[in-house]
Structure 1
């Protein structure tokens, strides 16, 4: 095993780690980090490219002195203010000493992913204070914390706003809102976009108040994942989340998103097998190389994971009759996805079949650079048709940043000679998908190109020789298989 991370020390930390694992996946989620021996850095850190999320979790018993203002002030200072200070300390440390962040209390095992430079780092500060909702319900009849950007520190009971204990905005999620937000924004890209959009609207003069974090989430989701600009002062109505949650369109969207678990499974399986060093090939890749490739897959939003998963499953069904390859869309303008679905070994030699499948995938990845030369990354996914017993998956990530014009020309030769994704050999279509089924306005996602593969094993071995002799790019592929 490459490293062993903590799963959370306290019950609340374990819940936080589990929620973040589900949304952001384990490769990027690290509970209970340390900066010096026995000196805790933060309760949980998420590192995803240039985005760093610092979580501080504090579970404090709410006082009962008979003075409601004093009780709130004491609880606030022991939970939210303390968390904000811990977050500020953690941020200063990782900006100043990015190579001195450790997984264990003895500080023997370093954080396995690379932190971005201070200049490139985008920090998102998240406080999770527990223990106030029972009293909030008793005193106000509502079981949540309100949001008012005009409030500083503990100025208003059961209301969070700005703090002078940390630099920048500190997001405060109570135990109820944290679970809802992470469940509904269950990818790192979706969650970060919400945090950034929320900071932007809280920084305006027109937004004044939200009854609860979940109401802000509902407003954001129902307006197409934005906070639309409003030229007057406004408040977000209370109990908006139950209305959105109960709407038929939103429930249909949630149901439609279930298929996207296929994409999540790709990422989690290849990450888990890499960490356990159980990949059939690819275990030799450096952590930084593997993480970069996996991060491309994990950078897709929930909606696009749905789009990609539906496209893959449809082609995996068709591949029962004949192998099929496809160019699939990405939300990133810098990425091309290449899919190759084989029929399985059909009772023959599996090693030869899998080698054939990998070479066919690799050849199409090269051809994809000729089709979209402006895209830097080419990610290949090799798999078997639905229902194949003992199926396997292969992943290739090619970074073409250092490719020369000659490399691209050679890629075009491969495409021309082997006929990959060319007129007459491929069918080009467009994909239209409703994020909220039943609501007007389907999104025209992207063009897709499909082609049936008719190469025999002998022809595939000839292809491998062509690739070796004619394609010698400056930056080669990274592969992972299981």
Structure 2
């Protein structure tokens, strides 16, 4: 579970086995990034050798109810003792991150319950072995067999009195965290999932993968994923009480589709962004950051820029990764000494306008390493300050500097500069620095409006076809896929 979280949230924000008092564990995994706090409780319990109803009650209480209780207590502890969170059992190493203010904090509870997979598989006569999502179950309903049509291995709202607690086993957690492998994508899915289950709109989902499939395949006009609504169902126009249910096999059908393969392929370049975040966080956590701009590196200085980078979703990371890779490749093609690209966007959490500066500087082998890093850092700082000066609506500028492809070795620098309180002296010094480095800015807006079609990139074989031809080919392919499936 810690490895999954590290891959999804990256290690600066993932803290396994955190403690509140010496020897007293707070939760099995704590993730903090921006306003989002995710608490995991992992319980493995062997399936009891009892009659089915008794076995389910005992297993549920040990694996799920105890997890929910642990998460509730952990949430209360964080409210009352936000500084008392430690990375070691002796409580000598505080977790080096500030929790968001309570009024801004979004808490997500996740219970990972394992040990009942084989029993669930036998009960449902299905090799899947995961929980059915049944929103009508609330609290103690989960173990009340007097409810009509009640059956075990079904999960709804385990703690309706508090913030929603999501229940997965390891197999479904792996699917969710692999499909939504940024903190923004993951928390948006959790929020949408909780809202759907508590809304009364959903009758049932045979398993978690079908929830994932329906969320991935439905988007709003802005390209944001969402679950289907009643207005998406034709019958709802006739009967306002219509509810929706998901069908078994939808996720399997999705991952076998060419659309899914194109999505996976399109995401490949986005992992350059993940690599950069991982590189910088490794330096932060191992105290191996390079000292630039005459400033001693600290976690507090680096964390804000890294947090902004980490909050970018997978789709935006495609564009950001392409911008960095494209800048390095363009420098080689143009055979120039440096190349900078500037992109403005908006913080997904706060809505603040921010800018990224990507700087590629050639010549690492032509000067001493320290001299090269000093020149590159000074140039990067000037680019960032110039960007902030020219656009006073920006709240933050994150600068990333990398080596040229043709230079041997590898090094990266990161700076995060907030908007300045500009004085005449500061502006005059910036003019001198810009002239010295010959810096002219041509910012490029990274607009999010047209991205809906890019979530599942279109099939290039449709290029040049009329709408009627494209629909005919789509129907033919769908028929073939259904017959194969």
Gaps of 5+ in 1: 1-15, 441-482
- Contact 2:344–2:445 under 8 Å retained in 1: no
**1:112: how far off?**
1.4
**Which piece of structure 1 moves more, 137-146 or 187-196?**
137-146
Aligned residue in 1 for 2:464: none
Counterparts of 2:291 and 2:105 in 1: how far apart (Å)?
A: 33
Aligned residue in 2 for 1:359: 378
Q: Which residue, 108, 112, 118 being the options, matches 1:124?
A: 108
Correspondences of 1:253-402 after superposition (within 5 Å):
253-281=263-291, 284-320=296-332, 321-322=335-336, 323-332=338-347, 333-400=352-419
Aligned residue in 1 for 2:227: 227
- Contact 2:356–2:397 under 8 Å retained in 1: yes
Aligned residue in 1 for 2:181: 186
**Which piece of structure 1 moves more, 152-161 or 314-323?**
152-161
**1:294: how far off?**
1.2
Counterparts of 2:10 and 2:367 in 1: how far apart (Å)?
A: 36
Gaps of 5+ in 2: 144-150, 220-224, 232-241, 461-485
**1:365: how far off?**
0.7
Counterparts of 1:262 and 1:340 in 2: how far apart (Å)?
A: 15
Counterparts of 1:290 and 1:416 in 2: how far apart (Å)?
A: 25
- Contact 2:341–2:443 under 8 Å retained in 1: no
**Deviations 1:271-295 (Å, cap 9, x if unpaired)?**
1112211122168334222222211
The total of aligned residue pairs comes to: 421
- Contact 2:384–2:397 under 8 Å retained in 1: yes
1:247 paired to 2:247 = no
DSSP-derived class of the 1:26 partner: coil
**1:270: how far off?**
1.1
Correspondences of 1:130-209 after superposition (within 5 Å):
130-142=114-126, 143-153=129-139, 154-155=142-143, 156-164=151-159, 167-209=162-204
**Deviations 1:59-116 (Å, cap 9, x if unpaired)?**
0001121x21111111100100010000001110011111111112121221111112
DSSP-derived class of the 1:117 partner: coil
1:32 paired to 2:54 = no
Aligned-residue Cα RMSD (Å) equals 2.5
Q: Which residue, 385, 388, 403 being the options, matches 2:421?
A: 403
TM-score (norm 2): 0.81
Q: Which has the higher helix share?
A: 2
**1:399: how far off?**
1.4
DSSP-derived class of the 2:358 partner: strand
**1:311: how far off?**
1.5
Counterparts of 1:64 and 1:208 in 2: how far apart (Å)?
A: 31
Correspondences of 1:48-59 after superposition (within 5 Å):
48-59=33-44
- Contact 1:88–1:166 under 8 Å retained in 2: no
**Which piece of structure 1 moves more, 178-187 or 286-295?**
286-295
Counterparts of 1:119 and 1:330 in 2: how far apart (Å)?
A: 26
Q: Which residue, 86, 91, 94 being the options, matches 1:110?
A: 94
